Amino acid sequence: MLGEDEVRHETCTVKPMYNRSLNGSVVNLTLDSALLKGNPLGDPHARTFPAYLPPGYDESDTRYPVIYSLAGFTGTGLNMAGFSVWEESLPEQMDDLIVSGSCPPVIVVMPDCFTRLGGSQYLNSPATGPYEDYLTDEVIPLVDGELRTIPERERRGLLGKSSGGYGALTLAMKHPGLFAAAASHSGDLYFEYSYLRDFPKAVDALNQYDGVEGFLKEFAGAIKKGPLIPTLNIIAMAAAYSPDGSEPCLPFTTPDGELIAEVWERWLAHDPVRMVEQEPYARALRSLNLLYLDAGDRDEYALHLGARIFIERLKALNIPYHYEEFSDGHFGINYRYKVSLAMMAKALGKY
Amino acid sequence: MLGEDEVRHETCTVKPMYNRSLNGSVVNLTLDSALLKGNPLGDPHARTFPAYLPPGYDESDTRYPVIYSLAGFTGTGLNMAGFSVWEESLPEQMDDLIVSGSCPPVIVVMPDCFTRLGGSQYLNSPATGPYEDYLTDEVIPLVDGELRTIPERERRGLLGKSSGGYGALTLAMKHPGLFAAAASHSGDLYFEYSYLRDFPKAVDALNQYDGVEGFLKEFAGAIKKGPLIPTLNIIAMAAAYSPDGSEPCLPFTTPDGELIAEVWERWLAHDPVRMVEQEPYARALRSLNLLYLDAGDRDEYALHLGARIFIERLKALNIPYHYEEFSDGHFGINYRYKVSLAMMAKALGKY
Amino acid sequence: MLGEDEVRHETCTVKPMYNRSLNGSVVNLTLDSALLKGNPLGDPHARTFPAYLPPGYDESDTRYPVIYSLAGFTGTGLNMAGFSVWEESLPEQMDDLIVSGSCPPVIVVMPDCFTRLGGSQYLNSPATGPYEDYLTDEVIPLVDGELRTIPERERRGLLGKSSGGYGALTLAMKHPGLFAAAASHSGDLYFEYSYLRDFPKAVDALNQYDGVEGFLKEFAGAIKKGPLIPTLNIIAMAAAYSPDGSEPCLPFTTPDGELIAEVWERWLAHDPVRMVEQEPYARALRSLNLLYLDAGDRDEYALHLGARIFIERLKALNIPYHYEEFSDGHFGINYRYKVSLAMMAKALGKY
Amino acid sequence: MLGEDEVRHETCTVKPMYNRSLNGSVVNLTLDSALLKGNPLGDPHARTFPAYLPPGYDESDTRYPVIYSLAGFTGTGLNMAGFSVWEESLPEQMDDLIVSGSCPPVIVVMPDCFTRLGGSQYLNSPATGPYEDYLTDEVIPLVDGELRTIPERERRGLLGKSSGGYGALTLAMKHPGLFAAAASHSGDLYFEYSYLRDFPKAVDALNQYDGVEGFLKEFAGAIKKGPLIPTLNIIAMAAAYSPDGSEPCLPFTTPDGELIAEVWERWLAHDPVRMVEQEPYARALRSLNLLYLDAGDRDEYALHLGARIFIERLKALNIPYHYEEFSDGHFGINYRYKVSLAMMAKALGKY
């Protein structure tokens, strides 16, 4: 029968047999952002995003540590909480860890920093919007106001996969006062391998569709978006790393595709492998209670090499870290969250 | 801010910019089935499934026609209502059609006939469970009791994709008193092409894992399930079409893979291409107000050929139909629902 | 006819470092066939094909056993003797076996039974030409006349891969007086799996190009023939197995692709799995000194299953055989010749 | 040296129907090189390579212009003259052009500059051998001595595909006194795109097999070499562009894969895109009677972008060129030779 309660509470949380039901719950928060108002891409300023609440949340007034989970390129928080027949969603993984006693209870917030370019890299750019400020100045205060978090740096972490891993690393570098733990699953590192490989594809597509605007129009109308994603990715990265006012400045000429050294250097300046060599960023990472990295040993974007190069830097700078290399590629690796979620919940839960 | 109402109602319905919010809403219904109790696969008897309600549902006491939307193999109703960044979910498609005035308002129910074999083909089998009875004798009465449907044959239709299309066609054949419209998107037809092609893969996998039980154990534990799906599909079809008590009877020997004619014939007897030659089934289809079929013209399972062969039968039997062949394959074709949803809502909405 | 000079000055045999030079030699024979004159496809009647001669051939008047090596679909004898940087050609494999003392010296003849449909299946058909007769009545007498073979059944074998394996098996069945040994590498067996899988592709292509004639025209002009090969294969098999006068009779309708049972039965009658159940054929195989079969355990055409099903028949019929299943697919398996060449040279070399 | 008989009795030239027989002929030349003696890879110093002679060569004492055709990576001259069922070999293309009157008769020589690393890039390196000198100081004199060439710069050209195109461009730059025409089909240009993309794969493989030596051992024994070729390619390029004595110096660290700027710069110094900015090289190209370039517009190594970037340089330097971009990728493009062969034969044939 259709119970009142079920109508009220069950946003995607009641699972059939193939996945257990949650013991905790998922709620959606809505934030009408002042910062995103008038953003250059015309993306909405009011956004809804899910948060996982641990078992017993409703029956007590306990406050909990909070983990911010950042989606990868083309993803948002809503995807992380979505239902999948044979795969545990992030809330299900967290729930299972807590219920099995593998770690203390925490809240997990899955914010929305999506743009119509596929993502924002969680930084401020005049070509996308102030997503870094949005996260630190609007999302975190909202969460701390609406949910029973422990609103302290020592009880706040962030993690992500791919572009979300990039966001976790760079936000931890830039905001040492906000976060005590960071985890990057297959995060964007060493741009020479991870991005440059897709430049030729992007050159061809931009030539085909007469530039960025034409491409984005094509993309919007395309039924099969998959083959266009690598080009969208390059445009989104240009919007994040090398904006020229409200426009992305591409790191290559068209139609030839020759690299433009000055623009490419602007990209490289955003590579955590280079950022970490600035002492304030190194100090920020050194101050973390947990710095977790992993990558698949056959990552299609060579992010395992990126991770290895990055941790060589960490070693040289005396920055503690935990690194795991697992046998897989870049895709279909959501199951890896379970490792970082457990470690981070423990790191944030102890005093 | 976290509004009371949003907490209460928004199961997956608040979408960021990349997809509009719904004007209607999605609710989840839960049914603790008496029929599924003790099913041979140990699948849960209590299941939750979503239903789309048209705009204005809450503000009036209007009753609406209802469409049952059946998921394909490896899918459930919850997947149909799930969030996708760049793709309209089925509720979003329906909502858009209604709001734009393309068709009258209807309710769409997305039931759960999943099994741990990946699906049930929407029929009764001692090796899976009485999913046909479950749908007709439990789901429909529940829906008619809990939601403001017009509980009449003329106002009830069903549709689906792939195995869901198979379900729509065969349930319409078997229950002419229940449904007045049926739509099959790339439905399973002409088993000689659609299933036989995967037998060798299944033989190899079953040899590798020592039979069905060993395979299912492997499947349950596999992180990457994709390569195992074709074999799971063959096992599920055997459980549906050729059960031997509570076990699936495979249509080939192991380890050689030689076809077993008697078992293969049991499969073929379930092929709509053959079923339709039985007059009661033909009569049932003839009585429909809408019989819709489509298929991609390069369907990987040759279901466009299956559809053509089927409609040759329909022609010969004077059964009216609407057939569309579109330029695509078997996967990533959820956008096709929009065509059948509009036609069916119109067919069910007029008197 | 075989010119003196051609015997002396071998072709393609001087190899750079990456492959050794031959110790034996390769000569080209030319045969202007009376039987192929006026063949329905307009293929040439005069053909040149290579033969491998063992080391010392020129310096003695020894006579040798002879192995006929039959090319697979889309291949001819010239391909078998062709140069490849990192792969031993068939003559190189044979040469290496003889020089290393692994087997006695033999002659290997690589005839040309190619057609513009890609092959002939080594049988007589009004739609291709009398390739079986050509081989037994023209090629073998020419070889026995021009080369120092031991022109006796006990000293004559035949082998092949894929369609060549099919040819070896079926010619051995039909001509027990000619051949004492046969070897089939991944030969065409159990047509339900090996051919039927490509029917849908063929249906689509034949619809696209308006039938066989239009398709063949397209094929002739196509720069990239690869994607068209599966359809060419089906046409060639129809020309071999189900000719209708000088035309191939397809085993399915167009444009729907429905199987035509009578035609499909004509195909199946050519399947060695069925042929062997006729006692004369079984007796022929039983009389062989060597019946070798192998297949890759992940053959894309399921020919490992075909081979297993075939040897079940052999067992039941008390026909001795040697079967090997190796870890590979259907392509890039020329290295397997070395196994059968050695066994066959030994079988033909002993009394 | 070239034996009389070998000139007379051509190899591989009798073709069945699917390809016409040659009107001209192919002879094999053998050269026992003094320069290659003791080469560091232990590759043979005596090598045999084919030359195409135009129709009527044997019946007159006419002398002809000569084109040197350079094989791509993993290929040799013997491959170019090899038999293919449905594809015209280079001699067949040349023959057809001459016979149809599309261009004057020429000789085409297909030398062997292969190494066990897959190729030499047609340059001198202590890690492979003096292949540039071998070609200019040994092959050309031998050819001019043994065949009736017109042994003048104005009657000598060179062309190639992929690494062979690279060889054609760079040899034309370095030896303006030897060659009056050069053609590059999809030649290696703009190493940032063409090589860097495969570095991660190479890093992984070199880690897996414990470095270059271990990798080469694995390669030598591998039945399926395809997946190893990209790594072999990187090793071969390191041996050509950045030798460290007799060893290739890799442009990245292992196991991390970080680029080593100094080594990478050594590679880039060999990029024709950079070489051409040296005035002697520009002058050499400017002096050619024909500079032909082409590339497929979806070349997998982005060589169409490399070609465009290169011709921007040519334009800026007032170097005439002919450029074609065709609709294809990097593989299966041997049919493109026909375009450059015709243009080059005309350029070398007129005064």
Q: What pLDDT, in 10s, does the model give residues D219-233? A: 999 999 999 999 999
- Continuous segment of H or E residues that includes residue C156: strand C156-161
Look at A85 and B137; give whichever has higher pLDDT. B137
Number of Cβ within a 10 Å radius of residue C166: 30
Query: Which chain B residues are closer than 8 Å to C199 by Cβ?
Result: 193, 302
Residue D12 has pLDDT above 50, yes or no: no
CA distance D190 to chain A (A): 9
Q: How far is CA D346 from the centre of its chain?
A: 21
Structure tokens at B351: 């008197």
Asked whether the beta carbons of residue A75 and residue B85 sit closer than 8 angstroms, the reply is yes
Look at B183 and B6; give whichever has higher pLDDT. B183
Asked whether the beta carbons of residue C47 and residue D16 sit closer than 8 angstroms, the reply is yes
Residue A2: per-residue pLDDT: 34
Query: Which chain A residues are closer than 8 Å to B42 by Cβ?
Result: 17
D174, amino acid identity: K
Residue C20: per-residue pLDDT: 52
Residue C253 near residue C260, CB atoms below 8 Å:
yes
Residue A314: per-residue pLDDT: 98
Residues in Cβ contact with C263 at an 8 Å cutoff, skipping those fewer than 6 apart: C238, C242, C249, C250, C251, C252
Among the ranges given (A73-82, B171-180, C340-349, D108-117), the one the predictor scored with the smallest mean pLDDT:
A73-82
Regarding chains B and A, contact by 3 or more CB pairs under 8 A is answered as: yes
Residues in chain C where the model's pLDDT stays below 50: 1-19
| pLDDT-based confidence at residue D155 (cuts at 50, 70, 90) | very high
Query: Which chain C residues are closer than 8 Å to D116 by Cβ?
Result: 17-18
User: Which residue is associated with the tokens 């067996």?
Assistant: C189
Asked whether the beta carbons of residue A78 and residue B1 sit closer than 8 angstroms, the reply is no
Residue D268 has pLDDT above 60, yes or no: yes
Residue C87 near residue C18, CB atoms below 8 Å:
no
d(CA A68, CA B33): 39
Pick the closest to residue B180 from B290, B286, B283, B106 (CA basis).
Answer: B290
Residues present in chain C in total: 351
% of chain A residues with pLDDT over 90: 89
Q: Where are the alpha helices (DSSP H) in chain A?
A: 4-9, 77-80, 90-99, 131-133, 140-146, 163-174, 191-194, 199-208, 211-221, 229-241, 261-268, 272-275, 279-286, 303-316, 337-349
Query: Which chain D residues are closer than 8 Å to A196 by Cβ?
Result: 192-193, 196-197
In Å, how far are A174, D9, D147 from D4, measured between CA atoms?
79, 9, 11
Q: Which of D190, D256, D309 lies at the smallest CB-CB distance from A308?
A: D256
Residue of B nearest to A44 (CA): B17
Residues in Cβ contact with C122 at an 8 Å cutoff, skipping those fewer than 6 apart: C70, C113, C131, C132, C135, C163, C164, C166, C167, C170, C171
Asked whether the beta carbons of residue D192 and residue A259 sit closer than 8 angstroms, the reply is yes
Q: Where are the alpha helices (DSSP H) in chain B?
A: 4-9, 77-80, 90-99, 131-133, 140-146, 163-174, 191-194, 199-208, 211-221, 229-241, 261-269, 272-275, 279-286, 303-316, 337-349
Query: Which chain C residues are closer than 8 Å to D51 by Cβ?
Result: none
In Å, how far are C42, C45, C116, C119, C190 from C235, measured between CA atoms?
16, 21, 11, 10, 18
Whether cis (ω within 30° of 0) applies to the bond prior to D141 is no
Write down which chains contact chain C via at least 3 CB pairs under 8 A.
Answer: B, D
Residue A70 has pLDDT above 90, yes or no: yes
C-alpha Rg value of chain D to the nearest Å: 20
Asked whether the beta carbons of residue A309 and residue D203 sit closer than 8 angstroms, the reply is no
Count CA atoms closer than 13 A to A62's CA, side-chain side: 16
Residue A20: per-residue pLDDT: 52
Regarding chains B and D, contact by 3 or more CB pairs under 8 A is answered as: no
Residues in Cβ contact with C319 at an 8 Å cutoff, skipping those fewer than 6 apart: C276, C282, C285, C286, C291
CA distance A37 to chain B (A): 13
Asked whether the beta carbons of residue B193 and residue C204 sit closer than 8 angstroms, the reply is no
Query: Which chain D residues are closer than 8 Å to C232 by Cβ?
Result: none
Residue of A nearest to B12 (CA): A11
Region of A230 (left: φ > 0; alpha: ψ -120 to 50; beta: rest) is alpha
Q: How far is CA B93 from the centre of its chain?
A: 17
Residues of C with CB under 8 A from a CB of D: 5-6, 8-9, 11-12, 14-18, 28, 30, 42-44, 47-48, 74-76, 78-79, 82-86, 112, 114, 116, 223-226, 328, 332, 335
CA distance C246 to chain D (A): 19
Residue D20: per-residue pLDDT: 52
Selected residue of B78, B114, B339 to mutate for chain A interface (largest A Cβ count, 10 A): B78
D24, amino acid identity: G
CA distance D226 to chain C (A): 10
CA distance D289 to chain A (A): 26
Pick the closest to residue D167 from D125, D222, D209 (CA basis).
Answer: D125
Residue B94 near residue B24, CB atoms below 8 Å:
yes
Regarding chains C and B, contact by 3 or more CB pairs under 8 A is answered as: yes
Residue A139 near residue A30, CB atoms below 8 Å:
no
Write down which chains contact chain D via at least 3 CB pairs under 8 A.
Answer: A, C
d(CA A334, CA A337): 6
Asked whether the beta carbons of residue B204 and residue C257 sit closer than 8 angstroms, the reply is no
Residue D10 has pLDDT above 50, yes or no: no
CA distance B346 to chain A (A): 25
Residue of A nearest to B79 (CA): A83
Write down which chains contact chain A via at least 3 CB pairs under 8 A.
Answer: B, D
Query: Which chain C residues are closer than 8 Å to D11 by Cβ?
Result: 11-12
Residue of C nearest to D221 (CA): C86
State if pTM tops 0.90.
yes
CA distance C112 to chain D (A): 8
Residue of A nearest to D195 (CA): A197
> Residues D143, D148, D151, CA angle at the centre, nearest 5°?
65
Q: Which of B196, B200, B309 lies at the smallest CB-CB distance from C256?
A: B309
Residue of B nearest to A11 (CA): B11
Residue D41 has pLDDT above 50, yes or no: yes
How much is the mean pLDDT over chain B? 93
Residue C230 near residue C300, CB atoms below 8 Å:
no
Residue D112: per-residue pLDDT: 96
Residue D3 has pLDDT above 80, yes or no: no
Q: Which of A196, A257, A309 lies at the smallest CB-CB distance from D196?
A: A196
Asked whether the beta carbons of residue C223 and residue D43 sit closer than 8 angstroms, the reply is no
How much is the mean pLDDT over chain D? 93
Structure tokens at C134: 């050509």
Three-state DSSP class for B214? helix
Report DSSP letters for C123-145, one per residue: SEETTTEEHHHIIIIIIHHHHHH
Asked whether the beta carbons of residue C5 and residue D6 sit closer than 8 angstroms, the reply is no
Among the ranges given (A76-80, B105-109, D49-53), the one the predictor scored with the smallest mean pLDDT:
A76-80
> Residues A342, A347, A350, CA angle at the centre, nearest 5°?
115
Asked whether the beta carbons of residue C332 and residue D224 sit closer than 8 angstroms, the reply is yes
ipTM above 0.90, yes or no: yes
Residue D6 has pLDDT above 60, yes or no: no
d(CA B269, CA C213): 37
Asked whether the beta carbons of residue D256 and residue A305 sit closer than 8 angstroms, the reply is yes
CA distance B309 to chain C (A): 6
Enumerate the β-bridge partners of residue A64. A149
Residue A351: per-residue pLDDT: 52
Look at C15 and D315; give whichever has higher pLDDT. D315
Residue A8: per-residue pLDDT: 26
Asked whether the beta carbons of residue D43 and residue C16 sit closer than 8 angstroms, the reply is yes
Asked whether the beta carbons of residue C192 and residue B297 sit closer than 8 angstroms, the reply is no
CA distance B72 to chain C (A): 22
Residue B277 has pLDDT above 80, yes or no: yes
Residue B351: per-residue pLDDT: 53
Asked whether the beta carbons of residue D258 and residue A309 sit closer than 8 angstroms, the reply is yes
Residue D152 has pLDDT above 80, yes or no: yes
Residue D103: per-residue pLDDT: 97
Q: What pLDDT, in 10s, does the model give residues A255-305? A: 999 999 999 999 999 999 999 999 999 999 999 999 999 999 999 999 999
Residue A324 has pLDDT above 90, yes or no: yes
Asked whether the beta carbons of residue B335 and residue A223 sit closer than 8 angstroms, the reply is yes
Q: Which of C5, C42, C85 lies at the smallest CB-CB distance from D75?
A: C85
Residue A28 has pLDDT above 60, yes or no: yes
Residue B82: per-residue pLDDT: 85
Residue D271: per-residue pLDDT: 98
User: Which residue is associated with the tokens 């870094």?
Assistant: A132
Asked whether the beta carbons of residue A76 and residue B43 sit closer than 8 angstroms, the reply is no
Helices (H) and strands (E) in chain A, counts: 15, 12
Report DSSP letters for D188-232, one per residue: ---HHHHTGGGHHHHHHHHHHTTHHHHHHHHHHH-S--GGGHHHH
